[in-house]
Structure 1
């Protein structure tokens, strides 16, 4: 018989409550909520085409999440680890470049993310991520204005990684110190 709906999905013990919590939570990511909704509708016996229409996905997507739930349970609904190229740029290097005054040719007193990115030959989003990671805010007027008559040489110690009591890794912020003040010949 053609186009018969798939049999209702059998939920594991306790999963119905957890799926309901995922659907009701305001902090659940949209993707995880969609997957949970697919599983709940499949457990109610709804056909895959109806599920895809209700959720706004394709039928192969519904089939994928049904099978992932059958295989791995709720853990199968979580995002898988993403592959990709590891970071090749150390954010501490970007921060140390930020602490150096911009060259006089730019005619500015502090770096912007786009200006520093162009100077270093990297993307401005990379600069912004490094600043956010280390809490650097060069646009703040009280903290990052460089004198155009003299430059300061800064020392940025590399950040260290330590393990907290709960087993999580914590990156310590680098310490920033003024090592010497040198007159500039700009």
Structure 2
């Protein structure tokens, strides 16, 4: 019985170069390497039977990729698109799940503060949107539109009646201008704040230095040294920080920080030094302004807009960040 001759394969220089790179590449997928090898051997005029014996593949496989390359070139060596498994959910169900994730749980009667993927999957089944759904499916759909209902960002409503005037004054100093006039070379802007309840920890054993293929080792055991308050003053336009630790906050610790800054040059001989502070108890109101001016006549206290008690900062939160402590700790070794 006569056997039909194999389809001849002719390669250009660029095709041969690319096929060799695919066939002998160390990171080439196995299937792509086998297909490139078949075509290279076919270009040498070898028969399908000989190629099959050399590559240890079935002759039908060799014949298939030889024919496909002869008909379509290098692009024909890639896998053809397949229809795949039919979708389990309709586009309407996907839209309903995303719409549910964009609603507050309280609006749906669910006793939750925030949605999570498992809770959304259970709610989808409870609402008969779908007979069954996994949390991973919900997570994949929400990721496509960057929807993250488990994260939140808090903010504070403006309650200070003079918010615009106070905020404008502070922002102008950062510009730097004051009352519409640019600040001079002998005028400075200091931003001050306080951090309370910082735990001072003393390690029970000394820290071991790093070495070759060895990280620095810090002993886990420590002794508590109490809680300290850290007061800092930041020169806004010269990027210089002044800081000190105090047993607690108050008028005296704050004035110690002011004295530390104002008794050093160039602030001692400056024309004006603007101190931007919040409305903490140690520097609140007109009495604090008078106290600062009496001690240092060239110091000018500027208050930021007042905020509701107990809420002074806005932040974004996620399940992973909730587990972190909000108070940093210092350690001494």
- Secondary structure of 1:104's partner? coil
Work out the CA distance in 2 between the residues paired with 1:71 and 1:53. 24
Bigger share in strand = 2
- Secondary structure of 2:70's partner? helix
Q: What's 1:67 paired with?
A: 67
Conserved? CA contact 2:22–2:33, under 8 Å: yes
Question: In 2 relative to 1, CA 12–136 (structure 1 residues): closer, same or farther, beyond 3 Å?
Answer: same
Conserved? CA contact 1:48–1:62, under 8 Å: yes
Q: What's 1:95 paired with?
A: 98
1:113-152 deviations in Å (ceiling 9; x for gaps):
58517624164354343123223455x6xx069xxxxxxx
Larger radius of gyration: 2
Number of aligned positions between the proteins: 140
Work out the CA distance in 1 between the residues paired with 2:29 and 2:115. 37
TM-score, normalised to structure 2, is 0.32
Q: What's 1:110 paired with?
A: 115
Give yes or no for the alignment of 1:19 onto 2:24.
Answer: no
Shift, 1:64, TM fit: 0.9
Alpha-carbon RMSD: 4.3
Work out the CA distance in 2 between the residues paired with 1:67 and 1:2. 19
Work out the CA distance in 2 between the residues paired with 1:30 and 1:94. 40
Conserved? CA contact 2:7–2:66, under 8 Å: no
Give yes or no for the alignment of 1:127 onto 2:129.
Answer: no
Conserved? CA contact 1:52–1:59, under 8 Å: yes
Stretch of structure 1 that moved more, 70-79 or 13-22:
13-22
Question: In 2 relative to 1, CA 132–51 (structure 1 residues): closer, same or farther, beyond 3 Å?
Answer: farther
Shift, 1:70, TM fit: 0.6
- Secondary structure of 2:73's partner? helix
Stretch of structure 1 that moved more, 93-102 or 66-75:
93-102
Conserved? CA contact 2:48–2:59, under 8 Å: yes
- Secondary structure of 1:81's partner? coil
Work out the CA distance in 1 between the residues paired with 2:53 and 2:147. 46
Q: What's 1:165 paired with?
A: none
TM-score, normalised to structure 1, is 0.50
Question: In 2 relative to 1, CA 43–133 (structure 1 residues): closer, same or farther, beyond 3 Å?
Answer: same
Shift, 1:13, TM fit: 4.3
Question: In 2 relative to 1, CA 96–80 (structure 1 residues): closer, same or farther, beyond 3 Å?
Answer: same
Shift, 1:25, TM fit: 7.2
Question: In 2 relative to 1, CA 56–137 (structure 1 residues): closer, same or farther, beyond 3 Å?
Answer: farther
Bigger share in helix = 1
Work out the CA distance in 2 between the residues paired with 1:136 and 1:55. 50
Shift, 1:76, TM fit: 1.3
- Secondary structure of 2:82's partner? coil
Shift, 1:29, TM fit: 5.3
